Amino acid sequence: MSTAHVRDVTVTISLERRTHESHHDNMSVAHYFAFSLAIIILGGWCFVWFMHILAIIYGKYRLHHPIPPPSPEDLQGVSIIKPLVGVDPNLYFNLESFFTTVYPSFELLFCLQDESDPALMVVKALMEKYPKVDAKIFIGVKYVGPNGKVNNMCKAYEAAKYDLIVISDSSILMNPDTLMDMMSFMKPDVGLVLQMPYSCNRKGFAAVYEKVYFGTFQSRNCLSANSVGINCSTGMSCLFRKDVLEKSGGLAPLGKYLAEDYFISENIRKEGYKTVLCSQPAQQNSGHYSMSHFHQRLIRWSQLRISLLPHLILFEPLSECMLMGVVASWAAEYIFGISSMGFFLMHVLVWFLFDYTLITCVENGPLPFSKFEFLVAWMLREVLSIWLTIQSHKTSIVQWRHKKYKVLWGGTIEEIV
């Protein structure tokens, strides 16, 4: 064999060896990357389950377990602000529940944009029915920014005679002792007391679907977040200290945000005060409800959350049952060789049972609908959650009541005329 031929064979073997080593190195890098990703996914999976369990434990500890109220001489007066726009079929009953509040000293401040609003007649009728209740009407807005709700409330907020303020949406139905329950949690180190959003019993599948959302996904996030001191404030029904909010400028500076409730809580927390949940969830009792209308609300809330906390673009979808189940199933099979289908089915089953336990805790008893209705509503919500998230990413335009806004990073908004 010639020297040249030997040289060629040697070079060929060397090239083949290098190619094999390069391929092996690439496989090693891919393996280590996939292994690391699987470990991260399973870690996130465990964290989500921890938050789920924490929500159930904290819900059983906090909800429907009122603490003793302050002594009568320590009960401070409360100004309740009710921003109103238009008439809902249940508006009369919702507002009447505030007139029948059992509390030593409070005032009701109703805010309307103009005298032509039909809600004005409802308020006047209730004021005639309950003449002993301290109630006032404020007509006209004070423009402080694009947020119409803040503009509507400013006059009442500035005229409130008590230092403790409740902002309550028109759709909220109040129990006679709800204000007393909220005040029981207003300790010296607490700046804001929140009612966790829930909903009343109403007819139709849309009402069941809405109740399942608030009793599972919303409750899980709100309870677990509040238990570790994370801001989960919503403006449906909250009690706060006006003098503390005034340190950051009061209500008016929040007119540039659509999620003014979040920033009320943030400003109070910055002053060193806690935000806590009371024992009674907020009972939403809107007479206008449908699947499409509720989906629009979910999309709007998702847009607002993402604008305030951009990391939720990734983490929020991964906290949902179905998507988390899919990625965790792959990770479990990759690392432990567990059947991905079996893992996924067990994941969904246990998640379903945990959610059922959580909603019965929020409901404080048996559900007002069948287990089959719960199953259908739960499955529909879980399957549609990814689609709703995608819809929220399609545009930065938010429709709220009769106005449109462009949501900017940081939560600020621009009204679209």
User: Which residues are part of the catalytic machinery?
Assistant: 261
269 neighbors 238 (Cβ within 8 angstroms)? no
Kindly list the distances between the CA atom of residue 32 and the CA atoms of 24, 111, 329, 330, in Å, as whole numbers in the listed order: 12, 61, 18, 15
How far is Cα 186 from Cα 406, in angstroms, rounded to an integer?
36
94 neighbors 88 (Cβ within 8 angstroms)? yes
How far is Cα 54 from Cα 38, in angstroms, rounded to an integer?
24
Q: 138 phi and psi, to 5 degrees?
A: -120, 120
Query: 3-class secondary structure for the chain?
Result: CCHHHHHHHHHHHHHHHHHHHHHHHHHHHHHHHHHHHHHHHHHHHHHHHHHHHHHHHHHHHHCCCCCCCCCHHHCCCEEEEEECCCCCCCHHHHHHHHHCCCCCCEEEEEEECCCCCCHHHHHHHHHHHCCCCCEEEEECCCCCCCCHHHHHHHHHHHHCCCCEEEEECCCEECCCCHHHHHHHCCCCCEEEEECCEEECCCCCHHHHHHHHHHHHHHHHHHHHHHHCCCCCCCCCEEEEEHHHHHCCCCCHHHHHECCHHHHHHHHHHHCCCEEEECCCCEEECCCCCCHHHHHHHHHHHHHHHHHHCCCHHHHHHHCCHHHHHHHHHHHHHHHHCCCHHHHHHHHHHHHHHHHHHHHHHHHCCCCCCCHHHHHHHHHHHHHHHHHHHHHHHCCCEEEECCEEEEECCCCEEEEEC
Q: Are strands 282-284 and 172-173 parallel, antiparallel or unpaired?
A: antiparallel
How wide is the angle at C-alpha 11 spanned by C-alphas 9 and 12, nearest 5°?
Answer: 65
